[in-house]
């Protein structure tokens, strides 16, 4: 696949690099109208003061991406899938327009020597050389203009700068007077900069291609150098005749235009559903991710409006802004200020909900502010005040990746990195929009003396695993802080094991087995053991519907109990008809108490099918004769998690076998829900239930699931592939009838109706009864009891013949 990207900015490079990551075989071409290889426009100020050259602010580009410079695309031939410049043609399979935006000027300055915009490396050359000996006039006070203002202020060969502002504000018209004055003082204290509010250009005199006089409402400036920073507009003039456009090129949520082979991303695109044009790098990269996913057809995602975060670091003040797409002008505002620290926190509220935040020299946790804006929760003013001081992680450094000062220090001290380039293995801080790159470099440099020279170096995977384990431990500690009905601790678990002659080594082996089975790193073994001891902190309702109690029976063997049995003796099975001591009205009271007072906290485990025929009357439960379906709906409504255990709960199982007179179905079908976690099996291996509960407890989420909502770690492996008799299958050694020589020698049971080749579950590796055995090891073929419709399809001793597609 050949992908042509038109544009040479951050969005274009992000697209090219990530397309290559997703599909290394793709042929990617960037066509840019610049003479320079792609660079980071955010750091253009460093070209003006010559602290960097173009190479110093260049963007890293995959070496296999072809780069075509000095090519301005003038035409698209959609039928032939080609784009044309004045002297070249480029064919494509997919075309992505990432041409960005162009600056707005109040009049044509293309032939004026002492006027410029601030958008490219060439503009920087014009500004650097043209400002010599002239009074600089900057029109506009947006973020880039304010950064330019500081750069020019620090250049000794520039003596006078005037900032013209049509309104009464700096940065944003919504800023408070206090914030505006704080910013203004930082600029004007040395006397070089004058700010003229409520002012604008009304006339000019141009002679021999130069402005000799500039007249504003309030000032007359001779021999100026004029810089426009009044705004931008999408750069789409070359494409208006080829593609539908409004403010920008119109796209769907996949950033696809009306032509299915053409995409538009970034400031040149307008998402038609929202009438939205991106204004921040983070939004551009989000759009790029959507386009890439759609092009490669992998984990396709739609663009969504989200909270934007802006940072501006200028001299003596840092500005941070968090803005919701729901922000509107009809707001109320809360200010928390400190004159001593020159700190101002401005909270913009609508209906007691935060829609925007602007902080000057703020210590507020921006991650928390973003969460508050996203959640739509009502604001607690007291909490905001109490957390106005700097937190343990220090100031926010990278808003795109939510990386704070201490986060970077920790990476340096734990890994021993010494440069920005080495950081890429551990964090993308400074690499998304690039605005904070210099700050990130400074933190890395300033932290070098903290590195222990004798410390073993850690990889990115080591740090990620440590963070995951720390989060798991926090979650376990949270559950342990509750007051459970049952009390399982490490000490009394050990005591229980000892009383049953289960050695600690067996426990360790079991923990290792469960950890491996859940496909976690061995480092998780310690928190797995801790999580087992916290399982009883989770309230659990276990319903038995139309079933044989086989899954429950698996946990209550009276002889040679397995470790899982001991655990389930202590698990908070607050309601289980078979195991609980309460009965009748007393048991119903316990159930009602849980579903009423612990909404959103309890886990519902369901064993058995759900009869639906004659309004569910085939199954009545309890002293009131409640139908199974009514009881299920009542208990499932406010459960934090619903798990169906066993084949009957999965799809009806044997209860739903033909002709299914009771109209039995599985839990998910009965509830019309697609979020039910299924642990199919007849019976389900107890360890798989433990593992699923541990996943929820440890990670507050479930592991990856298959198309039937079953954990992949338990249901991805094919029985046939892991079977100890697989070698006999390959050699053609089959049991032909029960008791023959092959049966005595333990040959393959495929000819006797084993369904292992059609069944996905971990029975061969997990086994049953404490890892003692499983059906094939005991001499009977697999019946495929975990698969959909197994009883009618697989529950026999005949060789299975796959159904043929008559079409």
478: how many CB neighbours lie within 10 A of its CB? 13
More confident of the two residues 341 and 321: 321
Distances (CA, A) of 760 to 677, 686, 789: 16, 17, 14
With CA atoms as reference, report the closest residue to 136 among 195, 51, 54: 195
Residue pair 162/136 in contact by the 8 Å Cβ criterion: yes
Which pLDDT value is given to residue 492?
46
Tokens of 208: 């021999």
- Does the pLDDT at position 497 exceed 60? no
Q: How far is residue 495's CA from residue 324's CA, in Å, rounded to a whole number?
A: 55
Choice among 79-88, 187-196, 370-379, 675-684 with the minimum mean pLDDT:
370-379
With a pLDDT cut of 70, the percent of the chain lying above it is: 85
Q: How would residue 487 be classed by pLDDT, with cut points 50, 70 and 90?
A: very low
More confident of the two residues 798 and 204: 204
Residue pair 364/388 in contact by the 8 Å Cβ criterion: yes
- Does the pLDDT at position 558 exceed 60? no
| Residues in CB range of 207: below 8 A, 6 or more apart | none
Choice among 385-389, 428-432, 792-796 with the minimum mean pLDDT:
385-389
Distances (CA, A) of 605 to 107, 141, 487: 71, 60, 21
Which pLDDT value is given to residue 478?
54
Which pLDDT value is given to residue 467?
73
Residue 113 is given by DSSP the state T
Give tens-digit pLDDT for 39-72. Answer: 988 889 989 999 999 988 999 999 999 999 999 9
The alpha carbon of residue 30 and the mean position of all alpha carbons in its chain are separated, in whole angstroms, by 28
Which pLDDT value is given to residue 485?
44
| Residues in CB range of 561: below 8 A, 6 or more apart | 500
More confident of the two residues 474 and 304: 304
622: how many CB neighbours lie within 10 A of its CB? 14
- DSSP for 618-672 reads T-EETTTTEEHHHHHHHHHTT-SEEEEESHHHHH-GGGG-TT-TT-EE-HHHHHT
What domains sit in the chain, N to C, each tagged with a CATH number? 2-101+234-296 (3.50.50.60), 115-230 (3.50.50.60), 308-389 (3.30.390.30), 398-458 (1.10.10.1100), 471-715 (3.40.50.700), 719-793 (4.10.480.10)
Residue pair 408/447 in contact by the 8 Å Cβ criterion: yes
Residue pair 629/636 in contact by the 8 Å Cβ criterion: no
Across the chain, mean pLDDT equals 85
Buried b (16+ CB within 10 A) or exposed e, 424-433: eebbebbbbb
Which pLDDT value is given to residue 341?
82
With CA atoms as reference, report the closest residue to 663 among 627, 615, 606: 615
Residue pair 379/347 in contact by the 8 Å Cβ criterion: yes
- Does the pLDDT at position 404 exceed 90? no
Show the 3-state SS of 338-375.
ECCCCEEEEEEEECCEEEEEEEECCCCCHHHHHHHHHH
Report, as an integer, the average pLDDT of 328-333: 92
Residue pair 165/189 in contact by the 8 Å Cβ criterion: no
Buried b (16+ CB within 10 A) or exposed e, 727-766: ebbeeeebbeeeeeebbeeebbbbbbbbbbbbbbbbbbbb
Q: What is the pTM for the complete model shown? A: 0.62
Show the 3-state SS of 409-428.
HHHHHHHCCCCHHHHCCCCC
Which pLDDT value is given to residue 486?
42
Radius of gyration for the alpha carbons in the chain, expressed in angstroms and rounded: 34
- Does the pLDDT at position 125 exceed 90? yes
- Does the pLDDT at position 475 exceed 60? no
Buried b (16+ CB within 10 A) or exposed e, 591-609: beebbeeeeeebbbbbbbb
Quote the Cα angle for 298-304-306, to 5°: 130
Choice among 96-100, 483-487, 575-579, 788-792 with the minimum mean pLDDT:
483-487
Q: How would residue 453 be classed by pLDDT, with cut points 50, 70 and 90?
A: confident
Give tens-digit pLDDT for 649-673. Answer: 999 999 999 999 999 999 999 999 9
Residue pair 776/725 in contact by the 8 Å Cβ criterion: yes
Which pLDDT value is given to residue 588?
65
- DSSP for 718-776 reads BHHHH-TTHHHHHTT-B--STTSHHHHHT-B-GGGT--GGG-B-SHHHH-BTTTTB-HH
Residue whose token pair is 């740090």? 463
What is the helix (H) or strand (E) element at residue 607, kind and residue range?
A: strand 603-607
Which pLDDT value is given to residue 400?
78
Strand partners, 161: 136, 193
């Amino acid at each position: 696949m050949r992908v042509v990207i038109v544009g040479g900015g951050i969005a274009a490079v992000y697209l090219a690099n990530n397309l290559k990551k997703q599909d290394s075989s793709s042929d990617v071409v960037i066509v840019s109208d610049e003479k320079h290889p792609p660079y980071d426009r955010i750091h253009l100020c460093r070209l003006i003061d010559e602290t960097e050259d173009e190479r110093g602010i260049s963007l890293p580009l995959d070496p296999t991406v072809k780069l075509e410079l000095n090519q301005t695309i003038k035409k698209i031939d959609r039928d032939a899938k080609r784009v044309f410049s004045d002297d070249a043609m480029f064919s494509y399979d997919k075309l992505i327009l990432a041409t960005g935006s162009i600056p707005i000027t109040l009049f044509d300055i293309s032939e004026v020597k002492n006027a410029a915009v601030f958008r490219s490396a060439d503009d920087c050359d014009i500004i650097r050389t043209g400002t010599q000996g002239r009074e600089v006039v900057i029109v506009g006070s947006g973020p880039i203009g304010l950064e330019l203002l500081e750069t020019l202020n620090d250049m000794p060969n520039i003596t006078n700068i005037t900032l013209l502002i049509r309104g009464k504000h700096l940065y944003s018209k919504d800023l408070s007077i206090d914030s505006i004055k704080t910013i203004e003082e930082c600029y004007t204290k040395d006397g070089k900069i004058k700010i003229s509010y409520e002012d604008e250009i009304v006339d000019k005199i141009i002679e021999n291609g130069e402005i000799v006089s500039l007249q504003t409402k309030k000032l007359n400036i001779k021999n100026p150098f004029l810089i426009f920073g009044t705004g931008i507009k999408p750069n789409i003039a070359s494409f208006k005749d080829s593609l539908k456009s409004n403010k920008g090129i119109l796209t769907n949520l996949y950033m696809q235009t009306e032509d299915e082979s053409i995409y538009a991303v970034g400031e040149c695109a307008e998402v038609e559903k929202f009438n939205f044009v991106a204004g921040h790098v983070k939004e551009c990269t989000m759009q790029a991710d959507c386009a890439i996913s759609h092009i490669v057809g992998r984990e396709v995602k739609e663009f969504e409006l989200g909270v934007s975060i802006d940072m501006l670091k200028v001299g003596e003040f840092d500005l941070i802004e968090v803005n919701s797409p729901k922000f509107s002008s009809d707001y109320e505002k809360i200010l928390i200020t400190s004159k001593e620290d020159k700190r101002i926190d401005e909270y913009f509220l609508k209906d007691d909900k935060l829609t925007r935040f602007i902080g000057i020299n703020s210590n507020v946790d921006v991650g928390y502010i973003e969460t508050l804006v996203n959640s739509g929760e009502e604001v607690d003013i007291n909490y905001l005040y109490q957390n106005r001081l700097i937190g343990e992680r220090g100031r926010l450094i990278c808003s795109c990746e939510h990386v704070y000062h201490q986060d970077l220090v920790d990476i340096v001290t734990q890994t021993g990195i010494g440069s920005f380039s080495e950081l890429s293995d551990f964090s993308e801080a400074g690499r998304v929009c690039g605005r904070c790159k210099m700050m990130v470099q400074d933190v890395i440099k300033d932290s070098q003396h903290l590195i222990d020279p004798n410390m073993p170096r850690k990889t990115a995977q080591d740090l990620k695993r440590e963070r995951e384990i720390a989060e798991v431990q926090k979650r376990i500690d949270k559950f342990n802080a509750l007051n459970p009905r049952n009390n399982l601790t490490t000490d009394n678990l050990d005591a229980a094991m000892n009383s049953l002659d289960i050695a600690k080594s067996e426990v360790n082996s079991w923990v290792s087995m469960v950890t491996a089975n859940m496909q976690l790193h061995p480092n998780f073994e310690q928190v797995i053991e801790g999580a087992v001891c916290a399982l009883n902190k989770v309230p659990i309702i276990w319903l038995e519907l139309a079933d044989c109690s086989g899954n429950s029976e698996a946990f209550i063997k009276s002889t040679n109990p397995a470790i899982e049995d001991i655990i389930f003796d202590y698990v908070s099975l607050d309601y289980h008809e078979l195991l609980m001591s309460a009965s009748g009205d007393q048991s119903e009271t316990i159930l009602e108490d849980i579903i009423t007072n612990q909404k959103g906290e309890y886990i519902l485990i369901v064993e058995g099918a759900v009869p639906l025929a004659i309004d569910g009357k085939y199954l009545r439960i309890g002293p009131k004769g409640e139908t199974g379906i009514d009881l299920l709906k009542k208990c499932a409504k406010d459960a934090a998690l619903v798990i169906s255990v066993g084949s009957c709960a999965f799809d009806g199982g044997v209860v739903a076998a033909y002709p299914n007179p009771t109209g039995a179905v599985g839990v998910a079908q009965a509830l019309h829900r697609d979020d039910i976690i299924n642990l199919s099996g007849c019976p389900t291996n107890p360890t798989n239930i433990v593992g699923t509960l541990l996943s929820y407890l440890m990670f507050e989420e479930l592991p990856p699931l298959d198309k039937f909502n079953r954990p992949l770690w338990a249901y991805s492996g094919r029985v046939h592939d892991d079977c100890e008799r697989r070698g006999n299958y390959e050699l053609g050694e089959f049991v032909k009838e029960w008791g023959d020589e092959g049966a005595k020698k333990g040959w393959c049971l495929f000819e006797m109706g084993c369904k292992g080749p059609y069944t996905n579950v971990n029975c061969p590796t997990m086994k049953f009864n404490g890892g003692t055995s499983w059906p094939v090891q005991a001499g009977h073929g697999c019946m495929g009891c975990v698969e959909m419709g197994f009883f009618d399809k697989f529950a026999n001793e005949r060789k299975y013949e796959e159904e043929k597609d008559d079409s």
